[in-house]
C-alpha cells in the first residue's frame, strides 16, 4: 500500500536542513488559500440563485466577483505573517506593500489569483498561479525591483487547478510534485510525485481562430504540428480549453506544447511574463521541458514592468525548439533581410 503523504508533511520533509521555516510556512499559507478559493469556486454556479456579483446578499454584504475574492483571500492570508516583503497580483495595477503595522519578511509573492476568468461563468476549469522570489535587499520594505526578477531567480512556483478535482502542483527547484485535495478531510495529498513531461507528446494547444494574425513562422509551425506541408511528424491532437492552468496541466501530464504566440501586429502576445509565463516556464523546465518566447528561454527575460506581456511556447523541449527553428527561419530572417 502506498504511503499517504499530506502536503504539510511533504513540504516539511523536503525543506533544507538550514531552513528557518518561513518558506515552508509560506507554502502552507498558499495551500490554505487554495482550499478557501476551491471551496468558493465550487459554489460559483449558485451565484445566480444566491445573488450576483455586485449585488447585496441576505446579510447585507456586497457579493464579490470570484477573481476579486481570490485576490483578497491570498492577500489577507499572507500580508500579516512576517514572511513577505512585498506582493504583486495580476488583479492590481501596482505592487502590494506589506502594511506598516506588520513585520516584513524575506520573500516576494507574485500571483495570478484566478486565471481563465472567462471560464468561471460556464463551469470550466480555472486556476491560480504563484511565484516566490527572494527579497533583493533586506533593509528596504517592498519595492518594485523585488517583483521584477527573472524566472531563473525563482525560489518556487506553482499553480492550483480547480478542475474535476482541486490540485496543487509546485516546485522549489527539486522536481515538480502534485497534490490532490481530498475535500472530505480538507487535505492536499501527494498524488503526482516527480512529474516529468512524457515522450512522445500527444497534444498541441493553441487558439486557432487567430491563425490569420500569426507570423509566417508560427503558421508554418502549427501546420508542422498538424502533420501538414511535408511535416516529418505524425499529427498531434489538438486540445484547447482557453484556461492556461488547465491547458498547461494536461500537457504536463500527457506531453505536448501550448502556444500563445505573438501576432504580426501585436508582437507582445497576451500572457503576462510575471504572473503566467515565468512560473509555468520554471515548472516545465523542472519537469524536463522548455518554455520560450519563440526566440529564447522565457526564464532569462528580465522583466521591465509588472504587467508586461510575452509570447509563449511551452511543453516538451523538442516541440518548443522546433517553434524557435521555424521563427528563426521565417520571421527573424525576414526581419534581418
Q: What is the DSSP letter of 171?
A: E
- The reply to whether 91 sits near Mg ion by the rule CB under 5 A is no
Identify the sign of the CA torsion 186, 190, 196, 198: negative
Which set of grid coordinates corresponds to residue 10? 511533504
Stretch that binds Mg ion, among 107-115, 143-151, 259-267, 316-324 (CB under 5 A): 107-115
- The reply to whether 115 sits near Mg ion by the rule CB under 5 A is yes
Contact positions vs ligand AHM (CB under 6 A): 115-117, 207, 242-244, 260, 270
Interacting partner of 286 out of ligand AHM, Mg ion, none (Cβ under 5 to 8 A depending on kind):
none
Interacting partner of 214 out of ligand AHM, Mg ion, none (Cβ under 5 to 8 A depending on kind):
none
Interacting partner of 331 out of Mg ion, ligand AHM, none (Cβ under 5 to 8 A depending on kind):
none
Least separation in angstroms between CB 89 and Mg ion = 10
Stretch that binds Mg ion, among 114-122, 186-194, 247-255, 316-324 (CB under 5 A): 114-122
Least separation in angstroms between CB 151 and Mg ion = 16
Q: With respect to ligand AHM, which residue has the nearer C-beta, 15 or 117? A: 117
Size of the site for Mg ion (CB under 5 A): 2
Angle made by CA atoms 58, 60, 61, in degrees to the nearest 5: 105
**Cis, peptide link before residue 200, omega less than 30° from 0:** yes
Helix-, strand-, coil-residue percentages of the chain, each rounded to 5: 35, 25, 40
Least separation in angstroms between CB 199 and Mg ion = 29
Q: What is the DSSP letter of 164?
A: S
Interacting partner of 242 out of Mg ion, ligand AHM, none (Cβ under 5 to 8 A depending on kind):
ligand AHM
Which set of grid coordinates corresponds to residue 39? 471551496
Cα separation values, 45 from 40, 49, 105, 123, 206, Å: 10, 8, 38, 7, 27
Least separation in angstroms between CB 259 and ligand AHM = 10
Angle made by CA atoms 155, 156, 162, in degrees to the nearest 5: 165
Among residues 112, 187, 293, 324, the one that binds Mg ion under rule CB under 5 A: 112
Least separation in angstroms between CB 286 and ligand AHM = 20
Q: With respect to ligand AHM, which residue has the nearer C-beta, 220 or 249? A: 249
Interacting partner of 313 out of Mg ion, ligand AHM, none (Cβ under 5 to 8 A depending on kind):
none
Which set of grid coordinates corresponds to residue 130? 504563484
Angle made by CA atoms 183, 170, 95, in degrees to the nearest 5: 100
Interacting partner of 285 out of ligand AHM, Mg ion, none (Cβ under 5 to 8 A depending on kind):
none
Q: Are 126 and 250 in contact (CB under 8 A)?
A: no
Could you give the CA distance from residue 241 to residue 332 in angstroms, rounded to a whole number?
Answer: 30
Residues that bind Mg ion (CB under 5 A): 112, 115
Amino acid at each position: 500500500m502506498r504511503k499517504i503523504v499530506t502536503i504539510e508533511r511533504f513540504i516539511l520533509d523536503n525543506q533544507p536542513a538550514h531552513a528557518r521555516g518561513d518558506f515552508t510556512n509560506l507554502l502552507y499559507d498558499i495551500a490554505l488559500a487554495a482550499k478557501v478559493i476551491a471551496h468558493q469556486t465550487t459554489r460559483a454556479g449558485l451565484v445566480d440563485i444566491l445573488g450576483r456579483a455586485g449585488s447585496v446578499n441576505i446579510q447585507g454584504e456586497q457579493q464579490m466577483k470570484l477573481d476579486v475574492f481570490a485576490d483578497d483571500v491570498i492577500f489577507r492570508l499572507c500580508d500579516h505573517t512576517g514572511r513577505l516583503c512585498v506582493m504583486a497580483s495580476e488583479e492590481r495595477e501596482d505592487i502590494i506593500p506589506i502594511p506598516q503595522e506588520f513585520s516584513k519578511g524575506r520573500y516576494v509573492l507574485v500571483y495570478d489569483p484566478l486565471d481563465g476568468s472567462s471560464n468561471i461563468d460556464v463551469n470550466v476549469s480555472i486556476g491560480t498561479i504563484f511565484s516566490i522570489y527572494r527579497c533583493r535587499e533586506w533593509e528596504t520594505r517592498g519595492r518594485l525591483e523585488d517583483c521584477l526578477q527573472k524566472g531563473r531567480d525563482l525560489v518556487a512556483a506553482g499553480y492550483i487547478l480547480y478542475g474535476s478535482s482541486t490540485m496543487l502542483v509546485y516546485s522549489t527547484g527539486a522536481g515538480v510534485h502534485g497534490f490532490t485535495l481530498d475535500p472530505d478531510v480538507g487535505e492536499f495529498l501527494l498524488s503526482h510525485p516527480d512529474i516529468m513531461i512524457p515522450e512522445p507528446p500527444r497534444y498541441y494547444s493553441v487558439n486557432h481562430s487567430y491563425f490569420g494574425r500569426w507570423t509566417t513562422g508560427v503558421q508554418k509551425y502549427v501546420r508542422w504540428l498538424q502533420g501538414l506541408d511535408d511535416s516529418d511528424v505524425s499529427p498531434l491532437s489538438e486540445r484547447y480549453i482557453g484556461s492556461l492552468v488547465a491547458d498547461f496541466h494536461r500537457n504536463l501530464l500527457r506531453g505536448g506544447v501550448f502556444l500563445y504566440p505573438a501576432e504580426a501586429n501585436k508582437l507582445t502576445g497576451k500572457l503576462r511574463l510575471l504572473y503566467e509565463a515565468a512560473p509555468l516556464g520554471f515548472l516545465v523546465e523542472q519537469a524536463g521541458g522548455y518554455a520560450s518566447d519563440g526566440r529564447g528561454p522565457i526564464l532569462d527575460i528580465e522583466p521591465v514592468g509588472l504587467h508586461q506581456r510575452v509570447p509563449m511556447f511551452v511543453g516538451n523541449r523538442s516541440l518548443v525548439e522546433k517553434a524557435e527553428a521555424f521563427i528563426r527561419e521565417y520571421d527573424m530572417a525576414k526581419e534581418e533581410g
